[in-house]
Structures are given as structure tokens and as C-alpha cells.
Chain A
Amino acid sequence: MSLAEDMEVLRSIPLFAKIEPAKLKLLAFTSERLSYISGDEICREGEAGDAAYIILDGEADISVATNNGPMTVATLGKNDIIGEIAVLCDVPRTATVTAKTDLETLKVAKDNFFQLVTQFPQIGIQVMHELADRLHHTTQDLTKAKAKLAALDG
């Protein structure tokens, strides 16, 4: 486990991919490696989110509360990111994440990420690009869906 490896992992995440290497290294340095053993809870639905976790090794279950108890909706694996949105804005966790196997993560704290963005606005711009890109795709998808709906109704 080294800083260089962590940096490569961060680069594989679209949100961070466009950040220049020197700053990405600083983000990696200020991030924290955290291990969980299978069954540990990483975050809980409804709690305030203060960090994103990138899975370095192992698998994690995403579950949401239903009337019939918790229901697993997805399983994440290596290089997936948990709670990405939490490093960008204050929203409660939308799901509970539990370690399915022993789990190795890289924890990027919101505070650290924000301090970096405030200091180096170009990082903010790069993140904004990425988000705008996604928004564009989402909007396109939405328009297509609406068109389909309209066709069905018509």
C-alpha cells in the first residue's frame, strides 16, 4: 500500500480523474486507508455523510430500509465509490453500506476535499466539467424517456 497506488485508484474515479497529478497526490496523502471486516457497517441510511469511500479490495452490500426490513439493492466491488455525492454536498446517506467480505477502502473526507477545492479553484472547475457532463447525459436520458412516455400515451 503506497501513495502512488492510492493516487492511481483516485484517478480511476471519474469525479477525480481530471484533477492534475500533483493535486491528486495531495488528495491521496490526506485520504485515509480504512479496513473493515465482513459485517462492519460503513455508513448508515439517514446519517449525515462526511466522506466518500473507494473500494480497494473486497465487496460491499448496499441496502435500503423497506417495510419488510432491509433490502439489498446492489453489491459494489473493487474501484467502486461509495457516497460520492457526500463529498460535494450535505445530503443524508441514501442507503446503508455493509462490508460483504473483508474490505479495504480509501476514505476521502469531505472537509479535506473542500479545502483542496477552495485552495485550487481549477480542481473545482474540473469537477464541475465532470458533473455538467453527467447532467447533460441525465437530461438527454430524461428527454428520451419523456418522449417515449409521450409516445406511449399518444
Chain B
Amino acid sequence: MDRSIFGYILRYSKTAQLILLGLTVASFPFLYVSLELPKMIINDAMASRDGGRFFGYELDQVSYLFTLCGVFLILVLVNGAFKYVINVYKGTVGERMLRRLRYELYSRIMRFPLPHFRRTSQGELVQMITAEVEPLGGFISQAFSLPAYQGGTLLTILFFMFAQDPILGIAAIILYPLQIWIIPKLQRQVNLLGKARVRQVRRIAERIGETSQGVRDIRANDTTQYERARFAKELGVIFNIRLQIYKKKFFIKFLNNFLAQLAPFFFYSIGGYLVIQGDLTLGALVAVIGAHEKLYAPWKELLSYYQLMSDARIKYEQVVSQFDPIGLRDEQLQSADADQPLVLSDTNLVASNLTIATEDGAATLDGASFQVGLPSRIAIVGPTGAGKEDLTLVLANLLSPDNGRVLIGGEELAKLSESVTGRQITYVGYPAQIFSGTISDNLLFGLKNRPIRAAQLDGSDAEAHKRDLLEAKRSGNSEFDADADWVDFSTVGITPEESLLPAAERALTKVHLDRDVYQMGLRGTVDPETQTDLADAILRARKAMGGRLEDPKLGRLVEVFGPDDYNTNATLAENLLFGAPIGDSLQIEHLASQAYVQDVLERSGLTETLIEVGYKLASTMVELFADLPPDHDYFRQFSFISAEDLPDYRTLVGRIDASQLQGLNAEDRERLLALTFKLIPARHRLGLVEEELQAKIVKARHLFREQLPSELATAVSFFDPDQYTIGASIQDNILFGKIAYGQAQANERIGDLITTVLADLDLRGRVIQVGLQAEVGVGGSRLSLPQRQKLALARALLKRPDVLVAYDPTSPLDPNEQLAVIDNLVQEFEGRTLIWSLNRIDWAERFDHVIVMRQGRIVEQGAFSELNRDGSALHALVAAE
């Protein structure tokens, strides 16, 4: 990247800057005329009574005045139009350049050498790309046009003043040299402070990042006060810097104002003297003073431009230097498409003298050399700190060795483009990164190397899409379309028409993630409009389930929904709705304040009863939880009322007794009603919902459904034995009821039963398909660590690479599962290459070839059986386990 911001501006926006300059210059004649015109109006049209000539036409005085005024009005419009066009164009240029800069910086992050990330904090990178470059766009847009425009304006006005009287002209600018000399000196000091400020803000960003990541350990050590103090200190530093900047900036301002105000002093003294002497007319002096006032604005603009320019230069240089680390990966390696695939069978992998030194001089790899025939399944073993991780990274071409090289069939790995190494070879480390999106997005991540098919859009969408792509190109952004279809199924040997499911299911099964995804599927939802056959299949499963529940042993585990039965294992709200809420308006939290719900309760004569139940419930809760501290776990587990709300309810039940409920205001009544809605008789055993009340609620349920207003028609999907319940999970749809509370092991038994029913109907795969659409959260936060590692392995498997390099990816799994997954992978990679850094040495027996490392060197290699003899390094390691 260009070291100077002007270099950068000229390289990418020369034409645009020239256009801006051209527009600016073109606007000057109009500006000059608009200065000249008032004089003509006053002197020619108003003062002399004999009219004038306008482009050869003789006009009387009044017509002449109006003509000139008309011209003035036109000029005002023309000047305004120029400004508008120039400003819009400037804005566009600035935004394009900002977009280009941000893209380029982001793009560079992907080329950073891996060790650089240990030295750079994420917070700093974010800060630089988002906030710090933001003002640069504004500057870039006017880098040339502003000085040209304001300088030109200044010159125009000066020219006008000199034309009136040269001495006064000189008086107006006599102090400029002083300003030009002194301001930059002061400005430099401000600039230095500015640099310090930028650095300090980055430090603060880093601290915030570290705190938010490490808050668990901070609390665990009771160091929150220490961290607060440290942060306060950092804020203090920035406070002082900013204060200094203000002082200096305002001093510059003061100086500027003072010097600017000195000019009128000269006008009044020198000009006044000249007028008294009769060398200057009073009119000319007034005109000059008027012109000088106009002079002030562009001069101020030029000075502030100078400040802006200094700021922008520092920011640009600081940012750019951070994005140019040593060892930045060659851009070509990432952008080039593969010429031909790398031959990875019947060839040799030769690593010679691989060396990686850390900053403090210690070496993680210290002349590691080995040779092995491919394909082969290779285990790398050795004690902690032997350099296993760096070796795997080098072999996956993710880390460049300081010395030495890796050759595959005579080709140097480091010189191959990522379109070769990143597709035929893949890497799974620990911890592996999972990206936000669905499970399926993550599985397919490795297949999105280049766009395969353009996005299918039509009409105005297509037009807008085209414009967006063109604009991206103008800003030097990626010309690939993010909305295109990127998934290249051909690499996994299936056509896009075929379902991805079998391949995905197979990969998930190999890494033992299929059960988890299946569970996610059971919790997932199906849209019966678009997935009619699946919804029908689930209804068949419901029937089958119903059949099985006829066995009284199983039947007691589930309380099935019946249109005329009160379900004691469901909330009162569910019993009233007798359906699943869709969207927000009928969610249980909002139900008590829902007008139609209130209306139905009123008409069923239930309102008072339910509020009374709510009152009793509140009293019981207040009594039970009164002495517990607000953070007690019981609130989360058992309470209807959160710890924060408890005092309010305590006041409420303390203030009134059960006979005064009608006198309560609407808000309090709704709060009590809301409590009642959450009541589950079988679970809470409070005896508050007696059979008589249950019958009334069932009646109200029918009323609710019959008279449901049309605006709520889409807010609920009613339970119907023959209809798929929209908005409810697959599991709930199969059960069509509630798992009973108080039945031993009901959850496990019903879970098993659902699995059996789905397997009988051959629906397990379909449920997994739904599970593939589950969101994993930012960075996979909704998955557990073992799940994330398994998903990363499945992603690598689905890609069918020729070589899979793995650094201990299974370590968070429990030992039995680890071994099972490793066995699966070793089997899967028969005939392909698998390089696996193992934490358990005896497991290396499963691999064809074993490499034993110690202190950055390879000390032994060969088949496990050959190496495992007395006196060998491998033997010593096995014995030590």
C-alpha cells in the first residue's frame, strides 16, 4: 500500500480528483461575476439615472435594474447548483475511497502471517478498520478540491480587492506570512498529541476486549476493582492528552482570530487616513471591508484543511503501517486459481530443515526433517512443547517456516497457491473456529471457494443487484458476488440436484455429531406450507406415537392434548389458547395484557377467579421466597416471580387482601393474571386450579377459538389431532401433548420412544435435515466445545480433501469417543493422507507411520511396530503414559 495518503489518493482517484478540480475551476467565473454584480447594481443601475447597456441592448434604468437583479438571481442558482454537484460528487468519491481502504485493510488481515495475530489484538484491528479510517473518507473527497476551491475563492476576492486599491490589498494579506509560519509549528505539536491519542484509544479498545473475554477469570480472582482502577488510569491518560489538544487547538484558533481581526485595524487606520487625504473614495473602502469579511471564510477553511490534512496523514500512516507486517502473504497465492491439481498419491512428502524461531529466540521447530511416501496415515507424537502444532501448521501451508521447506513430489508447498493447498489439503486445529450461521452453512463452508452460479434474480432486484456489483468494482472491492451460489458440490462428488443429506449425515456420523444434530432437529420447526411432505410424515409419526401410548405403561408418561380436556401438565395459558403462539402477540408474557384475551376471560366470567388465583400464587411465592437473597438459584429454578419483581409483589399482597382485588388498578390486575397464566398444576402442586375452574377454562378455550378476530388469526396455530401445529417443534408435534411431571424417567423413556417411532417411519434423516438448519450462534456459541470440534471435523470430511492435517482436534471429547472418532477417520482416509498430531502416544499404533518429535526436531520415524522396542524414544514415551 502507498505509504502516503496523497500517493494513495492519486493512485485510485486521479480522474475523480481532476473532475472535481475542473468543476471547481469552472465555478470561479460565476463567483467573480457574483462579486462584481452588486457593485454594478449600486453604481450603474441605482446611482446613475440614465439606464445602461446589457449585451448591446439599451435599457432604461428600471429595466436595467431588474435585468441585473435577474442575472444576480440566476447566478445565485448557478453557484448553488455548482456547490450541490461538487458536494455530491465529493461525497461519492470519498465514500468509494473509504470503502476501498476498508476492503483493502480487511483483505490484508487474511494475508497476515499467523504469528502476527499473537502480537495484534482483535480490538485494535476492529478499531482501525471501523472508527479510525472513517474521517479519512471525508478528507480524501476534498484533498485537492477544497484547497483549489477555497484557495481560488481567496484569490478571486484578493484580486477584487487589489483591483480596488493595492495598498488595502496588501493590508489584508500582510499577516498571512506570519500565520503560515507560526500555525504549522503549533500544529505539529497537536499532531504529535494526536498520534498519542490514536495509540491510547487502541490501548483502551484492547483493554475492553480483554475484559469482556476474561470477565470470568477477573471475577474468579476478585480483581474487578483492580481492573476498574487500571481502566480509570488509561482513561486518565487519554483525558490528559485530549485536554492538551484542546488547549493547543484553541490557542491556534485564538491566534487565527486575532490575526484576522488585525486586518480591519489596518483598514480603518490606513484606509481612513487615505480617505481623509482624498486618495480613496469612501465607497471603495466600504467595498474592501465587505470583501475582506468574505475573505475570512475561505482563509479559515484553508487553515482547518491544513489541520485536517495533518490529522489524515498521521492516521493513514499509522493504520497502514499496522497492516504491513513482515511475512505478509503474497496476494497472488490467495487470488490465483489452480492451474492443475497437486499430485498427492504415489509421491513423496519431504520436509527438510524446518525451522521456526519465536521472538525471544527459542525455536519451536529446530531443523525438523523427514521423508515419507504418500498417501499415508501419519501420527505425530511427542511431549508438550515438542513443536507438533507448528509442524502441522507448516505441513498445511498455514505457517511459513523461517528456514527450510516442504516438498511434495518436488513442488515447494509454500509456493503453491491457496486454491491448491486450501482445497486438496485441509486443516483442523484446536480450538477450531465455527462461523455464525446454521450447521449446514458450516458444513458447506469448505466448499465455497469461488462462485459457481450467478444469483438468480429478476426485474428490479436484478437491476439493483447489478448496480451494487458495479459500485463494488468502482471501489476496488471483490468482484465476486456474495449472493451467488458458491457451494461447489462437484468436489464432494454429488450433483446439486441430489440431496446433500446423505453426504452430510455420513460426515456427521463419522464424527459422532449425528445424534446432536438429530436432537436439534427435534427441537426445530417445519413450515407445512413449503415442506408439506415432511409435515405429513410427522403427522404419521404422531399417529404411530398415539398407538404406542395406548400401552398404559407408556401412556401415563404423556398427557395428550384433548379439545375438551384440561391438560394438567401444560400452563394455564396453553390450556386457554389450546395452540402454539406464532409471533409475539399471543406469547405467554403478553397474554395478560392482550385485549381479546381479557375480553374472552370477562365473558367466561373467569377474570376475577384467575386474578384471585394470581393473588394466592403471589402470596405463596412471597412467603416461600421472602428470606432468600436475590441471586439465589431457586429464583431461576422455581419461582414465578423474578428476584427484582418480588418486592413489588410483596408490597402488593401486603397492601390489600383477597377481597379488595377489584379495586386494584389495571396494571396490577394484569400482573397477577400473568402469574396465573404460568401455572402448571401437575408441576407446582399448589392446588389452585380445581376441577371446576378447569372446566370453565376449557369452555373459554372454545369461545376463544370460535370468536378469534381476524387480526389474530395468524397469531396462533390451534392444536388439532389431524393438523400439523405451526410454530411448535417437531417433538411437540409428534407428542401432541405434554410429558407428564412426576413420572420417573419420563423424559428419557419418551425420548427413546420418539427415536424408535421415527426410525420405524424412516424419518431420522429428515429430522437431521431440519437440525442442519439450526443456528450455531456467533462463533458457534450455542454449541458446546466438543460439538464445535466435531463440526469442524465434519466440515473437513465433507470436503473430501486429499490430505487432512489435524492438530489434536478431538482433545475436548471424552477418551472413548475420541478413540472412536479417530478410528473412523483413520478408516475413512485409507488411500488418502491423514496427518494427525496425537496426545495419546499408544493410539499412534492405528496409523501407518509415526513421527516422534522432541524439542523441535524429529527424533524417530517409522511404523509403530518397528519403533516400539527397548531404548527407542517412542518406547520411552509410551512407558511414561
Q: In the bound complex, do residue A6 and residue B685 qualify as a contact, i.e. CB atoms below 8 Å apart?
A: yes
State the CA gap A6–B627 with chains docked (Å). 21
How far, in Å, is B738 (CB) from chain A's closest CB?
Answer: 15
Q: In the bound complex, do residue B743 and residue A34 qualify as a contact, i.e. CB atoms below 8 Å apart?
A: yes
Q: In the bound complex, do residue B685 and residue A1 qualify as a contact, i.e. CB atoms below 8 Å apart?
A: yes
State the CA gap A40–B746 with chains docked (Å). 12
The 8 Å CB contact of A29, one of B556, B633, B638, B742, is: B638
Interface size bracket, A side: 20 to 34
The 8 Å CB contact of B744, one of A3, A4, A26, A40, is: A40
State the CA gap A10–B362 with chains docked (Å). 66
B637 within 8 A of A: yes
Name the A residues within 8 Å of B748 (CB-CB): none
Name the B residues within 8 Å of A29 (CB-CB): 624, 638
Residue of B with least CB distance to A1: B685
Q: In the bound complex, do residue A120 and residue B627 qualify as a contact, i.e. CB atoms below 8 Å apart?
A: yes
Interface size bracket, B side: 20 to 34
Q: In the bound complex, do residue A30 and residue B638 qualify as a contact, i.e. CB atoms below 8 Å apart?
A: yes
State the CA gap A3–B623 with chains docked (Å). 13
Name the B residues within 8 Å of A3 (CB-CB): 620, 685-687
State the CA gap A37–B749 with chains docked (Å). 14
How far, in Å, is B249 (CB) from chain A's closest CB?
Answer: 59
B632 within 8 A of A: yes
Q: In the bound complex, do residue A2 and residue B687 qualify as a contact, i.e. CB atoms below 8 Å apart?
A: yes
**For window 1-37 of chain A, which residues contact chain B by CB distance below 8 Å?**
1-4, 6, 22, 25-26, 29-30, 32-37
The 8 Å CB contact of A35, one of B629, B685, B743, is: B743
**For window 579-635 of chain B, which residues contact chain A by CB distance below 8 Å?**
620, 623-625, 627-629, 632-634
Residue of B with least CB distance to A27: B624
Residue of A with least CB distance to B553: A37
How far, in Å, is B267 (CB) from chain A's closest CB?
Answer: 85
A119/B628 contact (C-beta < 8 A), A2-B685, A3-B685, A22-B623 known: yes
A67 within 8 A of B: no
Name the A residues within 8 Å of B556 (CB-CB): 35, 37
Residue of B with least CB distance to A29: B624
Name the A residues within 8 Å of B633 (CB-CB): 115
State the CA gap A119–B632 with chains docked (Å). 9
Name the A residues within 8 Å of B625 (CB-CB): 26
Name the A residues within 8 Å of B624 (CB-CB): 22, 25-26, 29
Name the B residues within 8 Å of A4 (CB-CB): 687
Q: In the bound complex, do residue B744 and residue A119 qualify as a contact, i.e. CB atoms below 8 Å apart?
A: no
Instruction: Name, among B553, B627, B638, B742, the residue most crowded by chain A CB atoms within 10 Å (CB to CB).
Output: B742
Residue of A with least CB distance to B552: A37
Q: In the bound complex, do residue B744 and residue A34 qualify as a contact, i.e. CB atoms below 8 Å apart?
A: yes
State the CA gap A32–B634 with chains docked (Å). 14
State the CA gap A3–B681 with chains docked (Å). 11
A42 within 8 A of B: yes
23 CB contacts below 8 A, A to B, read A1-B685, A2-B686, A3-B620, A3-B685, A3-B686, A3-B687, A4-B687, A22-B623, A25-B624, A26-B624, A26-B625, A29-B624, A30-B637, A32-B742, A34-B744, A35-B742, A35-B743, A36-B744, A40-B744, A115-B633, A119-B629, A119-B632, A120-B627
Chain A interfacial positions (CB closer than 8 Å to B): 1-4, 6, 22, 25-26, 29-30, 32-37, 40, 42, 115, 119-120
**7 shortest interchain CB distances as A-B pairs:** A2-B687, A33-B742, A36-B744, A26-B624, A34-B744, A3-B685, A34-B742
